Structure 1
C-alpha cells in the first residue's frame, strides 16, 4: 500500500501534534499533583498574613489566616455546603480592611439555607484561604449569628483532569491514523477496477 506524500505529511503532522499535546497533559498532571500535595500540607503550616492581591495559584492557598473586617461594603451569595454537608448558600462579606491586609477581603462567614444576607457588620475572622474565581476568599472557621459553619475548603475540590485529557489526545491521534490508513486503502482498492478496465 502506497501513501500519498502530501496527505501523509499533513496527517502525520496533525498526529504528531496530538501526541505532543497528550505528552504535555501528562507533564501538567505531574505538576498539578505536586501542587495539590503542597496545598494538602498547607493546613498544618503556621498562619500567614492576609493579602488581598494574592493570586489564586499562589502556594499560600489553604493556609490559615485572619482578616479584620472593619466594615461590610457588600454581600455575595453563592452555592455552598455546611460542615454537615447540607446544600445551601455560602454568605460572603466584602470587607473593608486596612494596613498590611490590603484594600479589602472577601470573607465567607457562614452557611444559610436561604439566600438572605445575615446581619453582620464586621469583626476579626479566623479561617482558611481558598480560591474565589480569579481572587481568593477567607473561609471562616466558625459561623456568625444566623448562619452555620461552612464546609472546610479542601484541595480535593480542585479538579485534576490532565490524565483524561492526555488519553483523549492519544485516542484522537490513533483514530486519525486509523481513518487515514482506511481511506488510503479504500481509495487504492477502488482504483484497481479502473486500472484493469483501462488495460
Structure 2
C-alpha cells in the first residue's frame, strides 16, 4: 500500500499564520471602531462648548484647558509679526495658516487668522494684509507638538517667519515676549482683509464615518480570510481521505 503520510500531514504553520492574520484584522477593525467613538465624543464636546455663551479671555487665561473649543472674546491690538505655518491643505491645495500676536490686558496671545494659498515656492511666502482687529472672537485651541517634526527656522526676530507647526515656545523666541498657552482661531464672522483668509477649521483629521468605513473593511477582510481558510481546510480534509480510500480499494 502506498504511504499517505505526507498527504495527511496537518498544516500547523499555515493554520497559525491564518489565525494570526485574522486576529490582526479583527483587532484593526475594533481599533477603528474605538477611534470612531473617540471622534464622536470629541465632536460632541466641541458642539456643546460652542453652544455656550462666549467666554472672556480674562476668565480662561489661567486655566485654558477647561475652555478648549469654547469661543473666547478678547480685546487688543494685533501687530504685523506674521508667522506662516507650513503644510496646511484646503480642498487639495497647499498653503499656510497665518498667525499674528495680539496684545491684550491678560497678555499676548497668538491669533490664527486662517488659511492662505501657497505661492508654489517656500522661498516666496504669500503677501498678506492683516485685518483691522480690536475686538475678536476665536475658538480656543491648545496646540500639541508632533515630535517627529524638527523645526529648522532659527532666524529669530526676522519676519515673516515660516514654521513647521504651531510651537509656542519657538514663537516666543521670535517675538521675545511671553505668550498665553493657547491660540485663538478666528471665527468666520471675524473681519476679513484683502487676503480673504479661509477659516474652515478641521477639528479632527479624519471623520467618524471614515473610521467606520475602515472598520467595515477590516472586518470584511477578516471574514473573507476566514472563509478562504475554512474552504481550504475542508478541501484538505476531503482530499487525503479520498486518496486513502482509493488506495485501500486498489
Instruction: Indicate the residue corresponding to 1:127 in structure 2.
Output: 138
* 2:194 matched residue in structure 1: 146
The TM-score, its normalising length taken from structure 1, stands at: 0.63
Match of 2:84 among 64, 76, 84: 76
Q: 2:213 aligns with which of 158, 164, 170?
A: 164
What is the CA distance between 1:143 and its match in structure 2? 2.0
The CA distance in 2 between the partners of 1:178 and 1:2, in whole Å, is 22
Q: Alpha carbons of 1:130 and 1:139: their partners in 2 closer, same or farther (altered >3 Å)?
A: farther
Unaligned runs of 5+ in 1: 82-86
The alignment partner of 1:73 has SS state of: coil
Q: Structure 1 46/119 Cα, relative in aligned 2: closer, same or farther at 3 Å?
A: closer
Q: Kindly indicate whether the alpha-carbon contact (under 8 Å) linking 1:109 and 1:144 is maintained by their aligned counterparts in 2.
A: no
Worse-superposed segment, 18-27 or 187-196: 187-196
1:32 aligned onto 2:39: yes
Q: Which one has a bigger Cα radius of gyration?
A: 2
Please tell me whether residue 117 in structure 1 is matched to residue 132 in structure 2.
no
Task: Indicate the larger mover: 33-42 or 17-26.
Answer: 17-26
5+ residue gaps, structure 2: 1-7, 120-125, 146-165, 167-182
1:108 has 2:108 as partner: no
* Greater strand proportion: 1
**2:68 — aligned with what?**
60
Q: Could you say if the C-alpha distance between residues 101 and 36 of structure 1 is closer, same or farther in structure 2, counting changes exceeding 3 Å?
A: farther
Distance in 2 separating the partners of 1:8 and 1:79: 45
Q: Is the Cα–Cα contact under 8 Å of residues 64 and 129 in structure 1 kept in the other structure?
A: yes
Deviation track 1:127-174 (CA, whole Å, cap 9, x = no partner) reads 234687855551243224424475564768862222112112211211
Normalising by structure 2, report the TM-score.
Answer: 0.53
Q: Structure 1's 174 and 131: CA in aligned 2 closer, same or farther, altered over 3 A?
A: farther
